[in-house]
Structure 1
Amino acid sequence: MKNEIQNELDGHIQSINHLSEITDEIANASQLCIDILNSGGKILLFGNGGSAADAQHIAAELVGRFKLKRKGLPAIALTTDTSALTSIGNDFGFNHIFDRQIEALAVDKDVVIGISTSGNSQNVINALQVASNLSCKTIGLTGINGGIMNEICDIAIKVPSNNTPRIQEMHILVGHIICHLIDQNFTIL
């Protein structure tokens, strides 16, 4: 058991070390979020499964507080309204649970962040395409190849791994880095 634990820890550390390959993308996404928030826009986040939890986690850090005392920032996880999710899923299908919410809630001064380890989750792709059509800025958090998200996002943060658990672990680290950089750019109360 100890060997397995060490192997998992070693894999995590290797994944962290590979994030240095994508610091430009993380910085660009952070600056985009800062610019959107400074211009009165909001951040909308979504994904499936563990990525849904990451969307909620990041939104909570922005609305509440990450590290520093600052005003609450407008961020919405589109994964939390069970009535909307189930009614949209029932009436339009699972592939539209996010794009209908983007259509209803997003405006052209917002940034939309889709999270998918493969980059090919159809409901995430649909929402990113609707966001683009609304002239929102789009960020994708995905794995090494980026999938379709690599082609349709303004900024694709492709974690250099094809191992789903490692990608998910790095997504929350990237989310925390973005939150940290946002914190640095807003007045402390």
Structure 2
Amino acid sequence: MTVEKHLNGLTDTLAGLRAQASRVSRWGVLLARVLSDGGKVLAAGNGGSAAEAQHLTAELVGRYRHDRAPFSALALCADTSSVTAIANDYGYDQVFARQVTAHARPGDLVILLSTSGSSPNLLEAAHAGRLAGATVWAMTGPVPNPLATLADETLALPGDPCHVQEAQLVVVHALCEAFEAALPSASRRAS
């Protein structure tokens, strides 16, 4: 019964994602435009959401399905020396904001992943992204939440944090599908 209950919860969260498929498709087109024009992605999250942020940037720098040009994408949670130095010197709330301030430029994308939408370090990163002139996208759990309020756009999913986090992996892959499909043919090469 426990496994079935978990899977039923995930099914409900994925139904919420299916209802937002057009947003993921649109984000893929915008992502292709930003990266093809020389912009970059800065992604961050905490815990499992940090892993998903790294997963997203790995797919963009490496590849998802097709051999293609690499694109500029940084997982801010992966630079342990910066994270620990900033946390030590400025406090944990600033670990992503300081990096966003250093790296983000107008036209870049800051993508923040959170199941709660209330992590202070991600809220500070959203503020920093807006100040830098970057576009801020949030992937969160249920709304309302503070991160959704700060972001330019939010993909909010219903459900328990574990189901939201599981569905965020689906979002990462679906976003990469839409991104690669939207790339100009000069950036794509069949694998």
TM-score of the pair, normalised by structure 2: 0.92
Query: What letter is aligned with 2:117?
Result: G
1:112 is paired with a residue whose SS is: strand
Q: Distance in 2 between matches of 1:132 and 1:30?
A: 20
1:77-96 superposed matches below 5 A: 77-96=75-94
Higher RCO (Cα < 8 Å, 6 or more apart)? 2
2:20 is paired with a residue whose SS is: helix
* CA deviation vs aligned residue, 1:60-103 (integer Å, no higher than 9, x gap): 11111111111111111001111101100000000000000011
Indicate whether 1:166 and 2:167 are aligned: no
Q: Aligned residue for 1:127?
A: 125
Q: Distance in 1 between matches of 2:22 and 2:131?
A: 26
Indicate whether 1:178 and 2:175 are aligned: yes
Contact 1:112/1:138, CA 8 A, preserved across alignment? yes
1:41 is paired with a residue whose SS is: coil
1:17 to 15, 18, 21: 15
Identity %: 33
Please report how far the alpha carbon of residue 18 of structure 1 lies from its aligned counterpart in structure 2 after TM superposition: 2.2
Gaps of 5+ in 2: none
Q: Aligned residue for 2:45?
A: 47
Q: Distance in 2 between matches of 1:84 and 1:17?
A: 38
How many residues align structurally? Answer: 186
Contact 2:49/2:165, CA 8 A, preserved across alignment? yes
1:67 is paired with a residue whose SS is: coil
Q: Distance in 2 between matches of 1:52 and 1:126?
A: 16
Q: Distance in 1 between matches of 2:22 and 2:142?
A: 15
Gaps of 5+ in 1: none
1:46 is paired with a residue whose SS is: strand
Q: Aligned residue for 2:140?
A: 142
Please report how far the alpha carbon of residue 9 of structure 1 lies from its aligned counterpart in structure 2 after TM superposition: 2.1
Deviates more, 1:146-155 or 1:5-14: 5-14
Contact 1:146/1:156, CA 8 A, preserved across alignment? no
Q: Distance in 2 between matches of 1:34 and 1:146?
A: 29
Query: What letter is aligned with 2:62?
Result: G
1:62 to 60, 68, 77: 60
Q: Distance in 1 between matches of 2:155 and 2:144?
A: 8
Contact 1:97/1:123, CA 8 A, preserved across alignment? yes
Deviates more, 1:123-132 or 1:177-186: 177-186
Contact 1:43/1:76, CA 8 A, preserved across alignment? yes
* CA deviation vs aligned residue, 1:24-62 (integer Å, no higher than 9, x gap): 332332222122112110111001111101100111111
RMSD of equivalent CA atoms: 1.3
TM-score of the pair, normalised by structure 1: 0.93
